[in-house]
Structure 1
């Protein structure tokens, strides 16, 4: 289920909104004002309605959310120089890192291909002419490249392991940083969560449960008219031209009087 994005709610805070909504629905039976859950609307229907009304609900806590976002942005701006202690790998995107990655990938491939070629040619030469010393040299070179390929594969595996451990430590550090927020940011976040729940989510759920037009048979969520304006239109009144105030008498048409020419014999020709 995808949540409808609100213009004032950042994408990173969307899961937090969904979590607060889920907690409110799970504990709905503990609130007397939400005791109607399950009669006409179940929790999934209420969840869908609330997710579709994300912009409306979060607008009730817009002031607290703005303060929280501002405090969080100031914290991140102040902690940018200290990013290396949390596993910041921005310096690893330079030319050296790119060359190292290319060599890590290409070295096993090239060395393995060279080993196959040298060993194949060397053993063929030894089979054709056992006394030829060049065949022994080709075989020795083939085994050398095979050892290089094996060493390159081992180095690449160690590099992948180190990268995985580094990313794991980075994620743990990020979680610790999230849990140990400064007092100002933590207070701002808690104030937003409380305002979102008390002034946004719970009033919306109460209105949805009290709306008699909302029921399990409705596929599209109905919302209370005092919370969501209804947009409608009236049928235009089309009338014929004769009904207007400037309607005049219709023009009458009479068929012209056609008479057939008087044709006669030669004696009736005009003089």
Structure 2
């Protein structure tokens, strides 16, 4: 099923538009003006027509939708999480320390890996040398170095775990925008969203369905919305009338030409000369 691209609807809100449409069709029999669903047009045909007319339907609630998008974007912007006049300083400080935090994070990740690799190599070589007879004198040294790197590996893993815990606690303060998709919305965004949903349903979806049910010429397979809800004037063009001239007029208006009469001169011999 194809859904037209609506100028007043972002991609992330198209699923919400479809949910509103489906709810309206599911509860259509609770509305007296939509009780005719299923008689001439069924719910699936009406849904197809409404999806093809997405731009027209959503334009009925364009003001509420613009306000909803504006409030949502303000919540998502980085400045929404700042409180007080000291926040720009904190943000600048965070930007300065980000590079240091990034290097520290890389070091925290690489240190256990490198130390663990070194510990494994030294321990394997040390234990292999201890099996030789006679045992080399530096076998014990290699084992000691291996266990030292093993201790560094354990310390690095512990430091990484602590760093991850601190990062999770620090980022938990900015989780409100991230919960928008699955959790509860902030009050202002929720009110703006509900106002848009109500306006879209009452001024867009329901009037469209009502007009489609009452329009006997509505074609469910057509991408053209019903005439009664089409607010754009239909401009028609008709070709000019060209008629071929009739035979009678052509015969009267056409000039006639007659060929001149040519008579041959009389030629004769000298005996025929005039006297």
Give the count of matched residue pairs.
235
Q: Report how far residue 10 of structure 1 moved.
A: 3.5
Q: What is the aligned partner in structure 2 of residue 79 from structure 1? A: 80
Provide closer, same or farther for how the CA distance between residues 155 and 75 of structure 1 changes in structure 2, counting only shifts above 3 A. closer
Match of 2:138 among 134, 150, 157: 134
Q: Report how far residue 135 of structure 1 moved.
A: 0.9
Match of 2:187 among 176, 180, 192: 180
Q: What is the aligned partner in structure 1 of residue 53 from structure 2? A: 53
Counterpart Cα distance in 1 of 2:52 and 2:104:
48
Is contact 1:107-1:152 (8 Å) kept? yes
Is contact 2:116-2:150 (8 Å) kept? yes
Counterpart Cα distance in 2 of 1:145 and 1:31:
75
Is contact 1:68-1:188 (8 Å) kept? yes
Q: Report how far residue 30 of structure 1 moved.
A: 0.7
Q: What is the aligned partner in structure 1 of residue 105 from structure 2? A: 101
Counterpart Cα distance in 1 of 2:31 and 2:129:
88
* Greater mean alpha carbon deviation, residues 227-236 or residues 108-117: 227-236
Q: What is the aligned partner in structure 1 of residue 119 from structure 2? A: 115
Provide closer, same or farther for how the CA distance between residues 74 and 169 of structure 1 changes in structure 2, counting only shifts above 3 A. closer
Q: What is the aligned partner in structure 1 of residue 20 from structure 2? A: 20
Provide closer, same or farther for how the CA distance between residues 95 and 167 of structure 1 changes in structure 2, counting only shifts above 3 A. closer
Q: Is the partner of 2:57 in helix, strand or coil? A: helix
Counterpart Cα distance in 2 of 1:120 and 1:110:
16
Which runs of structure 2 are paired with 1:195-206 in the superposition (5 Å)?
195-206=199-210
Query: TM-score under structure 1 normalisation?
Result: 0.64
Residue 6 of structure 1 pairs with residue 31 of structure 2? no
Is contact 1:211-1:223 (8 Å) kept? no
Q: Report how far residue 31 of structure 1 moved.
A: 0.9
* Greater mean alpha carbon deviation, residues 203-212 or residues 36-45: 36-45
Query: TM-score under structure 2 normalisation?
Result: 0.63
Q: Report how far residue 158 of structure 1 moved.
A: 5.2
Segments of structure 2 that go 5 or more residues without pairing to the other structure are 255-275
Match of 1:224 among 215, 219, 226: 226
Q: What is the aligned partner in structure 2 of residue 31 from structure 1? A: 31
Counterpart Cα distance in 2 of 1:153 and 1:128:
34
Is contact 2:36-2:213 (8 Å) kept? yes
Provide closer, same or farther for how the CA distance between residues 30 and 108 of structure 1 changes in structure 2, counting only shifts above 3 A. same
User: Which structure has the larger Rg over C-alpha atoms?
Assistant: 2
Segments of structure 1 that go 5 or more residues without pairing to the other structure are 249-271
Counterpart Cα distance in 2 of 1:53 and 1:5:
10
Provide closer, same or farther for how the CA distance between residues 239 and 35 of structure 1 changes in structure 2, counting only shifts above 3 A. same
Counterpart Cα distance in 2 of 1:2 and 1:101:
47
